[in-house]
A and B are shown apart, each in its own frame.
Chain A
């Protein structure tokens, strides 16, 4: 078990490409940290620097309080699960899992190795496959073998590089909960790279968002969702992504493409003397007026819009509403879209309505939102002007408390189960 501390880590590749530009990150002992970001933002590079497969150009990397910049991978005592599993095809599943143990010459007897491998195999339900070769296993089984190889020795930390990206959606869901449970039980520090929204939001204690080699924000999933620091984080976290609209300040109101929002104290304070801002509205914060209680309607802003296309997904209904963007913010939004691996011009609003909503393609819909949930961003810097630092700090504190509690619970359960099993063995 160990903490991992990154201080101003920089990576310049041989061809001069700066893949990581000064990342500082403090990962506590036993914490589960997720690295997310669009493709090519340097997530894998950062992970490979931590594990020692890539040289660190400058900055300090400490594991368990010791600087390890110049240590070889084998001296860092970390376990990694590669994106494509990297199993040894000429070895059986048993030998694959035993591989790290056998490398520690003379440390373990054959009996000990057998016991440890079987324990890991039981955890991952691989017992009946121990004698098979990786080539004959399914994707999910291979993935579990790769995990087995990681957990079999007492590594100081686990590093995962998109371990689930090759699995189908159902298996991915199963393995996701499996990983979460295992990490809680073992209490091992974990760094997990992904660009999957769901994995990022559900797995981690904290999520670090990277953009072009720069760290944007590190916070709990809820912190990122409710209090993003800038346009990039706001647009990256959440699915479907947040809508960004030009907001023109007119008299004592904010004019959006299809709605007029009266300014309250919070908005007025955050907008300051700007004449034009970018307004962020999450799709799930918009409701269909027809299915809303009347007293709630009063409290928010109602507007009518022409719905272009709708998608009914069973639990909810997506509606797409095209709008004309403002030329002064168009370039900024296009740039943001490119950064987010977007598909093109974002000149439509997506809203997520309840599945009982009767809005259909081509309808003129009456919609509603609560202005208290609007976010306002500076059109030049992209900074979130409505961010409430106190609220953000409170969310992260709660999150940290939750984390400790669940870690303790999981380990207490583990101890109890362990004692029970031990007693059982004695009896038998």
Chain B
């Protein structure tokens, strides 16, 4: 890589700042709004005049507590289960796709792709009717299953692509070096596969965490309603107040874990860890 000249550096800095502002401005606006009093909402200022945590109190300990906390519990539980199931199944499927030759391999991949590009909105109504009649409506399972249809295909695709570039020969090299089959797998393959599995898990988690359409259509009570759907049910302190402040506060609360996860694990979310194993 060549080192950048001063001009190039400046150019890149400008571009970076522009992209950051473009991407982060809405987030900053929501964060700012979440600290505003209801009276300030329509004043048109960006920063709150007299910052308050009232909105957070309302959703975490106040009137909207029940609505929000149960939704948060649902979101975390459902997303985690959907992610775990998707990653386990996808790991097994991708291993088979990457390493074994079996009839119908292409079919599996094409089907997965087909499922993942299918518009969610077109199956939500039939699903609504079906879930009502078999009793899955407004349950965790009723959301986990459709979430799997979103997370599984993409997990299979990313993991299969990732596993394909793992140099499986390393397993044999380790055996010749004196490892048992299990040791060879654990010491030579798992460290290489882990970042891929990890990245896939994060992607799957975010997909489930961000879903709105299934969340609002397939739930009706606090039994299973996830946060994105619950936000729509917030009401202001009085009939005449907009719940904008609480919605912003809730939005910030659900964004924080995502940001924290990415920051914590950004080192793990790197591809190209397999470089240097073999020639090239």
A204 at the interface (CB under 8 A from B): no
Q: Which of A53, A78, A88, A100 is most buried by chain B, counting CB atoms within 10 A of its CB? A: A88
- Say yes or no for A133: interface residue by CB 8 A criterion: yes
Residue of B172, B178, B192, B276 near A142 (CB, 8 A) is B276
If A86-B167, A86-B170, A88-B170 touch, does A137 touch B176 (CB 8 Å cutoff)? Answer: no
* Chain B nearest Cβ from A189, distance in angstroms: 15
Is A103 interfacial (CB-CB < 8 Å)? Answer: yes
Partner of A103, one of B169, B179, B273: B179
Interface check B62, CB cutoff 8 A: no
- Which A46-63 residues have C-beta < 8 A from chain B? 51-53
Asked if B277 and A86 make an inter-chain contact with CB atoms under 8 angstroms apart, the answer reads yes
Q: How far is the CA of A79 from the CA of B177 in the complex (A)?
A: 7
Complex Cα–Cα for A51 and B276 (A)? 24
**A89→B177 contact, CB < 8 A:** no
What is the 8 Å Cβ interface bit string for chain A, positions 54-87, against chain B (1 contact, 0 not)?
A: 0000000000000000001110011110101111
Q: Does A170 lie at the interface of the complex (its beta carbon under 8 Å from any beta carbon of B)?
A: no
A 80-124 to B, binary, CB cutoff 8 A, 1 in contact else 0: 101011111110000000011001100000000000000000000
- A residues near B273, Cβ cutoff 8 Å: 89-90
Is B65 among interface residues, defined by CB-CB distance under 8 A?
no
The yes or no answer to B16 lying at the interface (CB within 8 A) is no
| Interchain CA distance A166-B279 in the complex, whole Å | 7
Q: Is residue B174 contacting chain A, with contact meaning CB distance below 8 A? A: yes
Choose from B175, B178, B277 the contact partner of A88 (Cβ within 8 Å).
Answer: B277
Q: How far is the CA of A183 from the CA of B13 in the complex (A)?
A: 56
Query: Is the Cβ of B192 less than 8 Å from the Cβ of A90?
Result: yes
A241 at the interface (CB under 8 A from B): no
Alpha-carbon gap, A88 to B179, bound state (A): 14
Closest residue of chain B to A83 (Cβ to Cβ) is: B279
Residue B188 lies at the interface, judged by CB distance under 8 Å to chain A: yes
Is A247's CB within 8 Å of the partner chain B? Answer: no
**Cβ of B278 and Cβ of A73 under 8 Å apart?**
no
Query: Is residue A136 within 8 Å, beta carbon to beta carbon, of the partner chain?
Result: yes
Is B274 an interface residue, CB under 8 A from the partner? yes
Is A354 among interface residues, defined by CB-CB distance under 8 A? no
Of A90, A137, A142, A153, the most chain B CB neighbours within 10 A belong to A90
Q: How large is the interface on A (under 10, 10 to 19, 20 to 34, 35 or more residues)?
A: 20 to 34
Mark B146-165 against chain A: 1 for CB-CB distance below 8 A, else 0. 00000000000000000000
Question: Chain A residues near B49 (CB, 8 Å)?
Answer: none
Judged by a CB distance under 8 angstroms, whether A139 is at the interface is yes
Knowing A80-B173, A86-B167, A88-B188 are in contact, say whether A137-B178 is a contact too (CB < 8 A): no
| A85 B278 Cβ-Cβ under 8 A | yes
Contact B275 A139 (CB under 8 A): no
Shortest distance between the CB of B142 and any CB in chain A (Å): 41
Residue of B nearest to A167 (CB): B279
The answer, yes or no, to whether B180 is at the interface (CB within 8 Å) is yes
B175 touches A74 (CB 8 A): yes
Q: A80-B173, A85-B279, A135-B276 are in contact. Are A90 and B178 (CB under 8 A)?
A: no
A148 to chain B, nearest CB (A): 12
Question: Could you give, for residues 27-55 of chain A, a 1 whenever the CB lies within 8 Å of some chain B CB and a 0 otherwise?
Answer: 00000000000000000000000011100
> How many residues of chain B have a CB within 8 Å of chain A?
24
Q: Provide the bound-state CA to CA distance between A331 and B133, in Å.
A: 77
Which of B173, B177, B187 is the most central at the interface, judged by chain A CB atoms within 10 Å of its CB? B177
Nearest CB on A from B69, distance (A): 41
B129 within 8 A of partner (CB): no
Docked-complex contact B172 and A135, CB < 8 angstroms: no
**Closest Cβ–Cβ distance, residue A53 to chain B (whole Å):** 5
Contact B176 A53 (CB under 8 A): yes
* Contact status A82-B277, CB under 8 Å: no
Q: How far is the CA of A80 from the CA of B169 in the complex (A)?
A: 12
> Which residues on B sit within 8 Å (CB–CB) of A139?
279
In the complex, the chain A residue whose C-beta lies closest to that of B272 is A135
Residues of B within 8 A of A85 (CB): 277-279
Is B175 in contact with A137, judged by CB distance below 8 angstroms?
no
Given contacts A87-B276, A133-B276, A134-B277, contact A72 B175 (CB under 8 A): yes
B255 at interface, CB cutoff 8 A: no
| Residues A89 and B192 in contact, CB atoms below 8 Å apart | yes
B181-212 interface code vs A (CB 8 A; 1 in, 0 out): 00100011001100000000000000000000
Judged by a CB distance under 8 angstroms, whether A149 is at the interface is: yes
Docked pose: A136 CA to B277 CA in angstroms: 11
CB-nearest residue of chain A to B169: A86
A84–B278 CB distance below 8 A: yes
When C-beta atoms are compared, the residue in chain B nearest to A159 turns out to be B176
Contacting residues, chain B, for A88 (C-beta < 8 A) = 170, 173-174, 187-188, 191, 277
Please give, as numbers and ranges, the residues of chain A lying within 8 Å of B167 by CB-CB distance.
84, 86, 89
Chain B residues near A87 (CB-CB < 8 A): 276-278
CB distance from A225 to the nearest CB of B (A): 31
Contacts of B178 in A (CB 8 A): 74, 77, 100, 103-104, 153
Which residues from B are CB-within-8-Å of A82? 169, 172-173
In the complex, A42→B58 CA distance in Å? 75
CA distance A73 to B178 in the complex (A): 7
Residue A135 contacts which of B173, B180, B275 (CB distance < 8 angstroms)?
B275
28 cross-chain CB contacts under 8 A: A52-B176, A53-B172, A53-B175, A73-B172, A73-B175, A73-B176, A74-B179, A80-B176, A84-B167, A84-B169, A85-B277, A86-B170, A86-B277, A87-B277, A87-B278, A88-B187, A88-B188, A88-B191, A89-B192, A89-B276, A89-B277, A90-B191, A103-B174, A103-B179, A103-B183, A135-B275, A135-B276, A142-B276
Known interface pairs A72-B175, A86-B278; 15 further A-B residue pairs with C-beta atoms within 8 A, sorted by A's residue number: A52-B175, A74-B175, A74-B180, A84-B167, A86-B167, A86-B172, A88-B170, A88-B191, A89-B273, A90-B273, A103-B174, A104-B178, A133-B276, A136-B276, A142-B276
Q: Which 9 A-B pairs have the closest CB atoms?
A: A135-B276, A134-B276, A86-B173, A84-B278, A135-B275, A100-B177, A89-B277, A103-B178, A166-B279
